[in-house]
């Protein structure tokens, strides 16, 4: 009887403890208890690292919009252990899976009302340090969770203007988790694009960079292509070179370098000064383009007509100067976005 009583008493204590722990759980983190158990298993002396690396792809596939930043951080720690043991093809395979993992994790389904509430809350959050709790409560539970944990596990909120708010994986993620274990061409590409995309390049289609920074990026991608002609990121580097070249000499529709290119005075001062400085270089293609650009600006209308082929003589000044300076616009149909992450997605 005593043994039976002790068993009942012990069972009662365990049940009470479970109820107490359950009452203390935060409803916004339903996976936390499971994930803490996973961490204990990972940290145990018996943990088999070979098995962990074999299962890492399966574990990444289980990350979705119901999981916590805790789960992401555990996956990322496992990646740091496993990536040095893998070949490049396996590393890039997991890199693709990491992108898909974050896309699932950051996915939020919202009603139209919830979308407006999200945009309004995020806008006010940027302008005012303190936000009324009532505004926060209008958001989806997932938005509430992600906003509370912004900055953890490389989760960021990107504001591109005009209500274009997006969660994103920080560009630093690939630079820190993957790049250290990759060959030089991939490592260099990722680390530099991560730095370039740390802040938005365009907001409301307006350039956020100084002309000198645009030129520096153009020169970097030109040098990258010469240094690593066999890089697996060659096509993306060519696109980035074209894009930054176009930004330097043409700008964007919302922030053009010049309205009519009639002479040097019609060009934005900072861009003109940067282009003049570039023109003094000798070995760079960008320098050669800068010299041709300035040469065209200094021509009279009659000289321009003589310098252009017949099919360009009636085109806009912008088209004429780009043709003369041998600057081709970047493809409008490039299938990747090269300004969000440390790789083009």
pLDDT of residue 249: 98
Query: Of 105, 122, 153, which residue sits at a domain end?
Result: 105
Q: How many CA atoms lie within 13 A of 279 on its CB side?
A: 14
Q: Identify whether residues 207 and 309 lie together within a single domain.
A: yes
Q: Using CA atoms, how far apart are residues 123 and 121, in angstroms rounded to an integer?
A: 5
Residue ranges making up the domain that contains 162? 112-170
**Has residue 47 been placed in a domain?**
yes
Instruction: Please tell me the total count of domains within the chain.
Output: 3
Q: Indicate the burial class of 52 (C-beta count within 10 angstroms; 0-12, 13-18, 19 or more).
A: middle
Residue 155 tokens, joined: 């989760």
Q: In the predicted model, is pLDDT for residue 317 greater than 90?
A: yes
Query: Of 105, 120, 150, which residue sits at a domain end?
Result: 105
pLDDT in tens, 154-163: 999 998 877 7
**Has residue 165 been placed in a domain?**
yes
pLDDT in tens, 272-316: 999 999 999 988 999 999 999 999 999 999 999 999 999 999 999
- pTM value is 0.84
Q: Identify whether residues 74 and 129 lie together within a single domain.
A: no
For helices 269-279 and 285-297, angle between their N-to-C axes, nearest 10 degrees: 120
Confidence of residue 8 (pLDDT cuts 50, 70, 90): very low
Q: Using CA atoms, how far apart are residues 214 and 207, in angstroms rounded to an integer?
A: 9
């Amino acid at each position: 009887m005593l043994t039976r009583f002790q068993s009942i008493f012990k069972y009662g204590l365990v049940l009470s403890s479970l109820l107490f722990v359950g009452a203390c759980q935060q409803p916004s983190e339903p996976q936390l208890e499971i994930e803490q158990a996973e961490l204990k298993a990972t940290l145990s002396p018996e943990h088999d690292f070979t098995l962990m690396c074999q299962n890492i792809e399966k574990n990444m596939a289980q990350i979705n919009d119901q999981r916590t930043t805790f789960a992401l951080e555990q996956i990322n720690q496992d990646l740091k252990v496993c990536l040095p043991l893998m070949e490049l093809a396996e590393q890039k395979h997991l890199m693709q899976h990491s992108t898909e993992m974050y896309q699932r994790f950051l996915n939020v389904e919202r009603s139209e009302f919830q979308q407006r509430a999200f945009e309004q809350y995020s806008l006010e959050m940027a302008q005012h340090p303190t936000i009324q709790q009532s505004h926060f409560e209008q958001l989806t539970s997932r938005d509430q969770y992600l906003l509370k944990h912004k900055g953890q596990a490389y989760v960021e909120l990107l504001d591109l203007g005009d209500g274009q708010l997006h969660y994103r994986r920080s560009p630093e993620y690939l630079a820190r988790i993957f790049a250290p274990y990759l060959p030089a061409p991939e490592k260099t590409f990722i680390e530099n694009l991560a730095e370039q995309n740390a802040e938005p390049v365009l907001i409301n289609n307006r350039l956020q960079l100084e002309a000198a920074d645009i030129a520096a990026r153009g020169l970097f991608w030109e040098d990258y292509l010469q240094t690593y002609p066999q890089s697996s990121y060659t096509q993306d580097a060519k696109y980035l070179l074209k894009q930054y070249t176009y930004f330097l000499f043409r700008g964007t529709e919302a922030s053009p370098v010049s309205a009519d290119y009639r002479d040097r005075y019609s060009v934005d001062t900072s861009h003109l000064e940067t282009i003049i400085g570039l023109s003094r270089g000798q070995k760079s293609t960008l320098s050669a383009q800068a010299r041709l650009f300035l040469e065209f600006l200094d021509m009279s209308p009659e000289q321009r007509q003589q310098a252009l082929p017949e099919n360009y003589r009636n085109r806009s000044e912008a088209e004429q100067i780009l043709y003369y300076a041998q600057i081709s616009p970047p493809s409008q149909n490039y299938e990747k976005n090269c300004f969000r992450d440390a790789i083009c997605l």
